[in-house]
Amino acid sequence: MARDVLRAVRERDAYANLVLPVLLRERRLSGRDAAFATELAYGACRSRGTLDAVIADCAGREVGDIDGPLLDVLRLGVYQLLRTRVEPHAAVDTSVELVRAEFGGGRAGFVNAVLRRAGERTADEWVDRLAPRDPLGRMAFEYAHPVWIAQAFADALGARAGELREALAADDERPAVHLVARPGDITAEELALVTGGEEGRWSPYAVYLDGGDPGKLAPVREGMAAVQDEGSQLVALSLTRAPLLGPDTGRWLDLCAGPGGKTALLGALADIDGFRVDAVEPAEHRADLVRKATQGLPVSVHVTDGRDSGLTPGYDRVLVDAPCTGLGALRRRPEARWRRTPADVRDLTVLQRELLTAAWDLLRPGGVVVYSTCSPHLPETVAVVADLVRRTGAEQLDTRDLFPGVTDLGDGPAAQLWPHRHGTDAMFAATLRKPT
């Protein structure tokens, strides 16, 4: 099963976190077997850069010159040898048998030779042999990150760049599942009792799960809870807590709504006060996800481009959870770190600035907009906000005040979450108020 996930990622650019749950259900794997398949598939996807360097050294050729189906198996085998407690002979034998069953003995012999060479050194010894000599490059190799992403993290950490090793290590671990309890339907305390989970540290609606398939839980099936990172919950909540100038008339807007997690939380909170939320999503299939996530809530979904939505201005609160590189959620999207390139950033920052400007134009005087990204990358975060402030005279509020009880959010006025500090995705949030 793990091999089939890697093959889908390689051949179809599939997302491992979407492929694996389907396979688990189709093949009825559960318990320890499901956990092991998950560890193998996600771990091999996360570690691909490091694994490929080892494979290339052992094979005496670039990984691009190795047949894709063999490379999938080699990645699984080397991952087991260097990053799990699987016995070396078992890792080698099962890998060889996978290849022999599909391609015969000749190719199986090649896989056997490569894996036996890989197993001659420990993970630390491979780091010493293959990692770049500079400290940042070595850390990036050791924790399976492209160097440019490690540099982006170091830049975002700023004066606390000494935490880079902790940040990369946390980003290289399998994250806990976070649930959100829908306000008005169930409390976090009740959700924790029903699911056997633990109440979250920061969000009043968060519950942590050790593992398992959250889709099988009754509160999730019944729409009383959903899977949502605690950092995303905090961003949505910050919009509702931001101080307005003048009364809240109950016109809220989520300008980048798909797939609907933050919209659903905003809609549930709006419902309590008799308010309404407009949700904008340009892609029909993602708009349908928003509709499903917000069923029964006072949310109107508009299938349109947020940069030219045609909506009537005058909103009290606007959320711009902008499309971004997703560098803050790499631990939840195992293969993403090897797909993104620095070239992606330029087009995204143009889009981010356009969306934030559109949100500003839809905001009433005295209203607030929260700009957020699931990325700590400075060109996508503080640079985008600074550009709007310079052009419009926006008043930047201290977003850290809107995350009550959450510590270590940075120097302000924006708030920056980190996996190694908060156990959340590395969400960024800035709050801007339109002068009257």
The whole-number pLDDT of residue 383 equals 97
3 state DSSP class of 423: coil
208, 191 contact by CB (below 8 A): no
Residue 30: the pLDDT is 83
215 within 8 A of 21, measured Cβ to Cβ: yes
Distances (CA, A) of 50 to 283, 300, 325: 36, 46, 21
pLDDT tens for each residue of 212-241: 778 889 999 999 999 999 999 999 999 999
Both 64 and 197 in a single domain?
no
Q: Are residues 193 and 262 in the same domain?
A: no
Both structure tokens of 49: 């850069």
Residue 121, phi-psi category: left (phi > 0), alpha (psi -120 to 50), beta (remainder): beta
Per residue in 398-429, pLDDT (tens digit) is 999 999 999 999 999 999 999 999 999 999 99
Number of structural domains the chain divides into: 4
Averaged confidence pLDDT in the chain: 95
Tell me what pLDDT residue 105 has: 87
Angle at which helices 48-59 and 135-142 cross, to 10°: 90
Q: Domain containing 418 — which CATH number? A: 3.40.50.150
Q: What pLDDT, on the 0 to 100 scale, is given for residue 390?
A: 97
Q: How far apart are CA 344 and CA 59, in angstroms?
A: 32
Question: Final residue of a domain: which of 206, 227, 248?
Answer: 227
Omega before 259 cis (within 30°)?
A: yes
- In 3D space, the residue among 339, 419, 348, 353 whose CA is nearest the CA of residue 385 turns out to be 353
Asked whether the predicted pLDDT for residue 29 surpasses 80, the reply is yes
What is the C-alpha separation between 313 and 34, in angstroms, rounded?
49
Do residue 85 and residue 145 come from a single domain? no
| Final residue in a domain of this structure, among 64, 97, 125 | 125
Same structural domain for residues 288 and 385? yes
**45, 58, 324, 374: which one is catalytic?**
374
Q: How confident is the model at residue 107 (pLDDT cuts 50, 70, 90)?
A: very high
Residues 406, 278 share a domain: yes
Gap between the Cα atoms of 435 and 316, Å rounded:
13
Domain boundaries, position 147:
133-172
Known binding positions for S-adenosyl-L-methionine: 256-262, 281, 305, 321
222 with 239, same domain? no
Question: According to the model, what pLDDT value does residue 212 have?
Answer: 74
Residue 397 sits in the same domain as residue 278: yes
Pairing of strands 225-227, 206-209: unpaired
Please give the annotated binding residues, written as ranges. Answer: 256-262, 281, 305, 321
**Which of 60, 98, 62, 58 is closest to 78 using CA atoms?**
58
321 and 413 fall within a common domain? yes
Percent of the chain topping pLDDT 90? 92
Please indicate, yes or no, whether residues 38 and 113 belong to a single structural domain of this protein: yes
Question: Is the distance from CB of 422 to CB of 406 less than 8 angstroms?
Answer: yes
* 45 part of the active site: no
113-135 mean pLDDT: 96
Q: Looking at residue 211, what is its pLDDT?
A: 74
Residue 78: give its domain's CATH number.
1.10.940.10
Are 248 and 358 in the same domain? yes
Q: Which residues touch 361 (CB under 8 Å, ≥6 apart)?
A: 313
pLDDT at 369 over 90: yes
**What would the pLDDT profile of 227-278 be if each residue is shown by its tens digit?**
999 999 999 999 999 999 999 999 999 999 999 999 999 999 999 999 999 9
Contact between 299 and 279 (Cβ < 8 Å): yes
Residue 165 neighbours by CB distance under 10 Å: 14
Q: What does pTM read for this prediction?
A: 0.93
- What mean pLDDT is predicted for residues 114-141? 96
236 & 361 share domain: yes
Q: Given 185, 212, 227, which residue is the final one in a domain? A: 227
Q: Is 198 found in the same domain as 61?
A: no
